[in-house]
Structures are given as C-alpha cells and as structure tokens.
Chains A and B, each alone.
Chain A
Amino acid sequence: MSVFYFMAFLSIFFALMTIFSKNPVNSVLYLVLTFFTFTIHYILLNAQFLAVVNFIVYMGAIMVLFLFVLMLLNLNKDTEPMKSHFVKFMGAIAGMCLLATMLGAFHVIESNNEYVTGNTDVGLVKNLGKVLFNEFLLPFELSSILLLTAMVGAILLAKKETKKVNG
C-alpha cells in the first residue's frame, strides 16, 4: 500500500526534475526514471503486459530515440536559452489552474472513493492477447499501418536532400 504512495512521490519528483533540469540530457534521464516508476505502477496494477511494453517501448526505444537525437544535434549543454521569468511564472500558474480545474471537476462529479478491485487477471499477457486479437484485431492491424506510415514519414523528413550533381 505504501509502495504506491512512495512510487507516486518518486514519479512526481522525477517528472518535476525532468522539466526543470537545465541540461536536456539530464531531462531525458529523469524522464527515463519517471517512466521506470510508471512501469512499477503498472506492475502494482497487475498490468504485466503494459509494464513490459512500457519498459521496452518507452524506456528502451522512445527515450533512447530522444537521447539519440539530442546527441546527434549536439544539444547536451547547459546553456540552453530559458524563457523569461514572467513567462515561466505564467506557465506555472496556467498549469496549476489546469490542475485545480481538474481536481475541482473530480470533486464535483464525486467519484466514489472505492478501492480498486475486480478481476485483476485482465492485465496478464494471456488475457490481454485474447482481447487484442479478437475484439481489437482490426485496430491492431491498422496501428501497424500507422507505424509503417510514421516510419516512412520520418525517413522522408529526416533524410538529407541529396544534391544532384549531374543535373
């Protein structure tokens, strides 16, 4: 029980570090840590499949991609230009407002304060796989097309324009 609160605290802490650290590389590393705590959250929810996917895809692939781009662009320095204090302040205020609004909304709809129960086996790979390949077969296949498209697009965008020498 206390594991959740501890992990929640760590998540929030690392998330804050992510957005406040000046060095982009540090940010990425803090974000990786944040996602790691999220993986633990998934395990706590007994969502084993998601935990594994989060660990591999987010931490392993996406965050490494971020890091890779940062290194590629040679941005790993502390001299990143920061916004003015006023804008930072306003941004923080806006974020707090959003939070307040959401919390207020949750309060108003009076969601029941029950504990999370139910069939906790849904998150197992076996069960999730059955759902995924029965009800959600078409979206699953479509998402593969989406990924293919994104891949082609990313290559097209990032490719250097080759100068034609001989006309």
Chain B
Amino acid sequence: MIELIWLIPLIPLLGFIINGFGQHVLPKYLIGVIGGGVVLASFLLSCVLFGQVLDARSAGGDGVFTYHLFDWITIKDFSLGFSFLLDPLSSLMLLIITGVGFLIHLYSYSYMYHDKGFGKFFAYLNLFIFFMLLLVLGSNYLIMFIGWEGVGLCSYLLIGFWYKNANYASAAKKAFVMNRIGDLGFLIAVFAIIATFGSLEYSDVFGAASSYPMGDSMILLITLLLFVAATGKSAQIPLFTWLPDAMAGPTPVSALIHAATMVTAGIYMIVRSNILFTLSPITMNIIAGIGIATALIAAFIALTQNDIKKVLAYSTVSQLGYMFLALGVGAFTGAFFHVITHAFFKALLFLGAGSVIHAMGDEQDMRKMGGLKKAMPITFLTMFIGTVAISGIPPLSGFFSKDEILAYTFMSSPILWGLGFVTALCTAFYMFRLLFLTFYGKYRGTEEQKKNLHESPWQMTLPLIVLAILAAVGGALNVPEAVAHGGNWLANFLSPIYVYSNAVVTPTHLDHNTEYILMGISGLAAIIIAIVAYMKYVKKEDFPAREGEQQSFLYNLSYNRMYIDELYDALFVKPLNGLSKLLYKVVDRSIIDGFVNGVGSFFDNSGKGIRQLQSGYVGFYIFMMVIGVIAIMLYGFLNI
C-alpha cells in the first residue's frame, strides 16, 4: 500500500486543477463534490496507510516507510530525491489534515454556497491541502520547504479571498510578508544544513547530527534559523500579529489553516527535527521563553476582544505559544499531543463561530449577540464542548494535553509552570466569556437578524458534531500513566521519532503524586474560573463596554492588543518608510536618477550643441564635405 502514498497529495492537486479551471463552468454541487471528494479520498488512503503504520508498530517495528518517487536534484556528490516519508508522526498529521480538512470542506459547501467565488474557494482549499500534505510527507527539508512556501501562498490567497476589501487585502499582505521573514530563516537553515551535513534527507541529517556534541555552534545556528521559520508560520513573538488579522478570510479558512493545520507546521517541523533541537539547549530555552511569552500576551489580549473570531485568533496564538513552551522544555510528544487536540477543538470552535456568524448575517461582534442558545442548540452544545475542552476541564481532551505540557514544564522550571498556569486560567476565562456572551443572556441583536436566526444546515452541523466528539474523547490518545495503566499511547507510538534524542537525553518522568496535585490544581482552577465568568457575564450581565467608555489601564492595554501593532509600526514600519523615503530622495532621486538623467541630458545637451552644425545651409554642408574629403585623403597619404 505504501506505493500509493503519492496519490495522497496528488488527488487534492487534481481537485485544485479541475476546480481551478472549471470554477466558472462546473455547477456548484459538482465543485463541492470534487472539492470534498478528493480530500475524502486522501483521508481514506491516509487511514489505510495509518493502519499499516499501526500494524508495524504493534508488531514491534518502527513503522517508518520511505517511498522514493524520482531523483530530483543531482549535482556531483550531492543528490536529492523526491521521496515521501511515512512514519508515526507523518501518518498522524495525514489523518489530521485530511480528516479535519474533509470536515471543513463539507462545512464550507454550505457556508460559502452563496459566495461568488465558490469554485475559487474550493480550488484554493484543495491546493492548500496538497501543499500541506507535501510539507508533512516530504522525506527531506527541501520538500518540506516546498510545502512550507505553498501553504503560505494559499494562506495569502485565502486571507485575501475577498480581495476587493482593501483591509482584507492588506491583512493578506501582512500575513504574507511576515511569513516571508520566517521563510527566509527556513531557506538559510536549509543551506546551513547542506553545508553542515551535506544532505537534506531526514535520516541522513539526524543520523549525522546525533554524533555532534551538545551545544555545537553550527547546530545552534541551524536550530535558531529553523525556529525563526517556525515563529513566522506558527505566529509566535515577534511575528504573531499576522494571525489575528488573518481572520479577514472566510471562517472555514480560519478553522482549517489558521487553527488546525498550517500554523502547526512550525511545531511539526521542530518535532520532526527534535534531535537538532535537543542538541542545542540555548535554542530550547529561547523557544520556551518565546512560547510562554506569546501564550501569556495573546491570552491577555484575548480577554477583552469583542470580535468572536479575534478572540479565537488570539486563543490560537496563545495555544501555539503553549505548544512552543512544550517544545522548549523537551516535551515533544506533549506539544504534538496538543497539536492534535487543538486541531479538534479549535477547528470546532471556529466552525461554531462561523455557524453563529452565518446565522447572525455576518455579524462578528459579540456585544450584538447573546441568548442564541435556544435558536442554535447544536451549535451551542458543540461550542460548549469545545470551550470546556480548551479550558482544560477534565476529562475532555484539552485537559490531558495541557496537563502534560504543564507537568513537563513544572519539571523544567516552576516559574514557567506558574506562568503557564496563569495562561491556562486566562484561557478558561476568555473562552467562557465568549460562550456566555454569545449564547446566554438577553438577545442584543437587531430584530431583522432575529427573524433570520436559524440553526445551520446539516453540512455545517455534522462537522461540528464530529469534531465535538473528537474534542471530547481526543484526550484518550495519551492518557497519562498516572491516571490509567497502559496510557501514554501516543508517546509510545511516536517513540521511533525520538530514537536519537533519547540517546542523548534520557527522558524523565514526574512522580505520580506531584502529577496528581498539578492535575487537581489546574482542573479545579479551570472550573472555578468558569464559574467566575458565569457570575460576571450571566448573573451580573456585565457586558463589555461600548466604545469610548472609561476603562482601567490594563483593560485598555488588553483591548488595544498591547499596542503591538502600533509598536511594530513605530519600530519597523515607520523607520523603514523613513529610510525608504530618504533613499528615494537622496540615493534614488539625486544619485541614481542624477546619473541616469545626467547621461541622458549629456547627450541631449551635446545633441543640442551639435545640432547647430545642422544649419540647413547646403553651402555649409558642401564645405564640411570638402573638409571631410581632405581629411580622408590626408589620412590616406599619411598612412602610405
């Protein structure tokens, strides 16, 4: 079956081609069937391959398959094959991408049905799936880079899907530019890897890297560059501001690209190259620091946002920060576990929010919602499950993944654990705030919206239900050993990936008592925070203030997104603009233009001068001709 692996990315590409060329020709249902069908086909194939990996693992093998398609680049000693790698990590990613991807395609069919760019939308989504699968499946860094660039492109295309709106278009540009900064890091890292190891194949690189000493400077450089790439793609400080703006795209896009799949590419990449990062403690510390800072700041900003998608966007940034924190403390499995659970519940929350927005007639401001519980029971129920899951209330999936991260963090540093704990509390608060503001209390929208208020069609609710179930039970993938005997299934399943790392650093485990305490604290605190939010927003009906009301300093700080956009504007955009203007005025206008125009005006002026010779008087011409004849004869006879 491994021979069919190339079909997995190819089928969505075919879908892209058909939908891309036939977007104006094909009927809508056919576009939907093709768009969704190709992803479903990929999903089924992925399931088969996953089963194969699973069999290999339970038979005691490492479950790693490589499928070589063709030789791509061969230069003297250096050769690079176009080959796919199927191992526990990539097989899981395949399931997430194609599985969640299919649900979102199904959802989009209804959500985007009345949009003019229906065919275009599905074409882009298919293209995105193709690139994402390429990113995950590639067996070397260059194929990953193709996917890496491709998903960035698709992200740009989809954020700017409604490109006629100037704000949306500039949000797309912002995302693209910020991603480019990271991509540059990736590219340089690829060069550095070639220079250091002479190969880009994972197996060669990791094998060679394991013999390097701890803290090698070249590996430090490579990992730092890779991390820069990850901050761009996975929206970490300092490149995270594009993700909230990326909500300009259609909601399914936010769910698929900016929550479930693309933004986790950075984490996938770091988990994939875990040996390199393990060998570079400095990078690990930086990752942990950046991760917790991002998690905390984003959670803080999310507390006061009123746009339902903005809350979820900052929540995504915050959760990604969490994953990076996990990576930084060496909990690769924990990070990946959170990727999986996060993909479930964040996709669920985004789709739920999309359902609400759809029902409210494209209203995104939570201050104008409220009391939607009765009108949209399925959406409410699924969103409730998602909220509980992300808040870390046991026994839903978020609790387990978050708890594992916190447990590892506690082992590494109690201070980091404290900050992570605060972040978790913030998460619980803003998520319940979102839930209560949207579904509880009085209805605050207009009458017209109320008339049209309806539960979404089955194409939208079915994905919600499926995702809700997954979000609820997803934690079972990696139940801690302390809770259930024979747990840690995910960690065991993924262990072939950490072979080299485990050889360098022996994995440590928290003793069960401490783990119980930590679990108890975080679970209990999440529930308490949920109750606090309930008191504040449902009992006291303490609605968010309208614009212009006086608020505390912290509220303003949070509400204005900590002025980070303004800070970047002042720090980078304005100086760069100033520099550009300076260069434009001085270098370009005076020096370069001066030179170019100088050449032009030199010939212009000398032409004007020489033009005087063209007096038009035939007599003068004859005279000049005689002079010329004399000169030629003189020349001839002087050269005899």
How far is B477's CA from A89's CA once the two chains are assembled, in angstroms? 111
Chain B residues, Cβ within 8 Å of A83? 619
| Cβ of A129 under 8 Å from chain B | no
Whether B636 pairs with A105 at a CB distance below 8 angstroms is yes
Contact of A90 with B629 at beta-carbon distance under 8 Å, contacts A105-B636, A109-B640 already known: no
Q: Which residue of B lies closest to A98 (CB)?
A: B630
Whether A91 pairs with B636 at a CB distance below 8 angstroms is no
> How many Å from the CB of A84 to the closest CB on chain B?
11
Whether B630 pairs with A94 at a CB distance below 8 angstroms is yes
Whether A101 pairs with B623 at a CB distance below 8 angstroms is no
Contact of A101 with B640 at beta-carbon distance under 8 Å, contacts A91-B623, A94-B623 already known: no
Whether A108 pairs with B637 at a CB distance below 8 angstroms is yes
Whether B626 pairs with A98 at a CB distance below 8 angstroms is yes
Whether B627 pairs with A101 at a CB distance below 8 angstroms is no
Chain B residues touching A, majority SS = helix
Whether A94 pairs with B636 at a CB distance below 8 angstroms is no
Chain A residues, Cβ within 8 Å of B636? 105
- Write the A86-128 contact mask toward B (1 if CB under 8 angstroms, else 0): 0100110011011001101100110000000000000000000
Whether A97 pairs with B623 at a CB distance below 8 angstroms is no
Which of B619, B629, B633 is close to A105, meaning CB atoms less than 8 Å apart?
Answer: B633
Whether A105 pairs with B637 at a CB distance below 8 angstroms is yes
Contact of A94 with B626 at beta-carbon distance under 8 Å, contacts A83-B619, A108-B640 already known: yes
How far is B637's CA from A104's CA once the two chains are assembled, in angstroms? 8
How far is B627's CA from A87's CA once the two chains are assembled, in angstroms? 14
How far is B630's CA from A107's CA once the two chains are assembled, in angstroms? 16
Contact of A97 with B630 at beta-carbon distance under 8 Å, contacts A83-B619, A90-B623 already known: yes
Chain B residues, Cβ within 8 Å of A102? 633
| Cβ of B73 under 8 Å from chain A | no
Contact of A98 with B629 at beta-carbon distance under 8 Å, contacts A83-B619, A90-B623, A91-B623 already known: yes
Chain A residues, Cβ within 8 Å of B629? 98
Q: Which residue of B lies closest to A90 (CB)?
A: B623
> How many Å from the CB of B210 to the closest CB on chain A?
89
| Cβ of B634 under 8 Å from chain A | yes
> How many Å from the CB of A138 to the closest CB on chain B?
31
- Write the B618-640 contact mask toward A (1 if CB under 8 angstroms, else 0): 01000100110110011011001
Chain A residues, Cβ within 8 Å of B627? 94
How far is B622's CA from A83's CA once the two chains are assembled, in angstroms? 14
How far is B636's CA from A41's CA once the two chains are assembled, in angstroms? 30
Chain B residues, Cβ within 8 Å of A91? 623
Q: Which residue of A lies closest to B638 (CB)?
A: A108
> How many Å from the CB of A125 to the closest CB on chain B?
36
The B581-640 residues at the A interface (CB cut-off 8 A) are 619, 623, 626-627, 629-630, 633-634, 636-637, 640
Q: Which residue of B lies closest to A105 (CB)?
A: B637
Chain A residues touching B, majority SS = helix
> How many Å from the CB of A98 to the closest CB on chain B?
5
Chain A residues, Cβ within 8 Å of B623? 90-91, 94
Q: Which residue of B lies closest to A102 (CB)?
A: B633
Q: Which residue of B lies closest to A110 (CB)?
A: B640
How far is B634's CA from A126's CA once the two chains are assembled, in angstroms? 41
Whether B619 pairs with A101 at a CB distance below 8 angstroms is no
> How many Å from the CB of B635 to the closest CB on chain A?
10
The B296-316 residues at the A interface (CB cut-off 8 A) are none
Contact of A101 with B633 at beta-carbon distance under 8 Å, contacts A83-B619, A108-B640, A109-B640 already known: yes
How far is B640's CA from A108's CA once the two chains are assembled, in angstroms? 8
Q: Which residue of B lies closest to A97 (CB)?
A: B630
Chain A residues, Cβ within 8 Å of B619? 83, 87
- Write the A127-154 contact mask toward B (1 if CB under 8 angstroms, else 0): 0000000000000000000000000000
Q: Which residue of B lies closest to A95 (CB)?
A: B626
Chain B residues, Cβ within 8 Å of A109? 637, 640
Q: Which residue of A lies closest to B636 (CB)?
A: A105
Whether B626 pairs with A101 at a CB distance below 8 angstroms is no
> How many Å from the CB of B634 to the closest CB on chain A?
5
How far is B639's CA from A108's CA once the two chains are assembled, in angstroms? 10
> How many Å from the CB of B306 to the closest CB on chain A?
86
How far is B623's CA from A90's CA once the two chains are assembled, in angstroms? 9
Chain B residues, Cβ within 8 Å of A104? 637
> How many Å from the CB of A108 to the closest CB on chain B?
5
> How many Å from the CB of B638 to the closest CB on chain A?
9
How far is B636's CA from A109's CA once the two chains are assembled, in angstroms? 11
Chain B residues, Cβ within 8 Å of A90? 623
How far is B629's CA from A102's CA once the two chains are assembled, in angstroms? 11
Chain B residues, Cβ within 8 Å of A87? 619
How far is B626's CA from A105's CA once the two chains are assembled, in angstroms? 16
Chain B residues, Cβ within 8 Å of A94? 623, 626-627, 630
Chain B residues, Cβ within 8 Å of A101? 630, 633-634, 637
> How many Å from the CB of A113 to the closest CB on chain B?
18
Q: Which residue of A lies closest to B634 (CB)?
A: A101
Q: Which residue of A lies closest to B624 (CB)?
A: A94
How far is B630's CA from A104's CA once the two chains are assembled, in angstroms? 12
Q: Which residue of B lies closest to A106 (CB)?
A: B637
Chain B residues, Cβ within 8 Å of A108? 637, 640
Which of B627, B629, B637 gathers the greatest number of chain A CB atoms within 10 Å? Answer: B637
Q: Which residue of B lies closest to A94 (CB)?
A: B626
How far is B634's CA from A83's CA once the two chains are assembled, in angstroms? 27
The A6-52 residues at the B interface (CB cut-off 8 A) are none
Chain A residues, Cβ within 8 Å of B640? 105, 108-109
How far is B636's CA from A90's CA once the two chains are assembled, in angstroms? 23
Chain B residues, Cβ within 8 Å of A105? 633, 636-637, 640
How far is B633's CA from A104's CA once the two chains are assembled, in angstroms? 10
Chain B residues, Cβ within 8 Å of A98? 626, 629-630, 633
Chain B residues, Cβ within 8 Å of A97? 630
> How many Å from the CB of A8 to the closest CB on chain B?
23
> How many Å from the CB of B417 to the closest CB on chain A?
103
How far is B400's CA from A123's CA once the two chains are assembled, in angstroms? 125
Which of A83, A87, A105 gathers the greatest number of chain B CB atoms within 10 Å? Answer: A105
Q: Which residue of B lies closest to A104 (CB)?
A: B637
> How many Å from the CB of B626 to the closest CB on chain A?
5
**Which 6 residue pairs across A and B have the least CB separation, nearest first?**
A105-B637, A101-B633, A98-B630, A94-B626, A101-B634, A97-B630
- Given A98-B633, A101-B630, A108-B640, output 12 extra A-B contacts at Cβ < 8 Å: A90-B623, A91-B623, A94-B630, A95-B626, A101-B633, A101-B637, A102-B633, A104-B637, A105-B637, A105-B640, A108-B637, A109-B637
Selected A-B contacts with CB under 8 Å, 8 pairs:
A83-B619, A87-B619, A94-B626, A94-B627, A98-B633, A101-B630, A105-B633, A108-B637
Residues of A with Cβ closer than 8 Å to B?
Answer: 83, 87, 90-91, 94-95, 97-98, 101-102, 104-105, 108-109
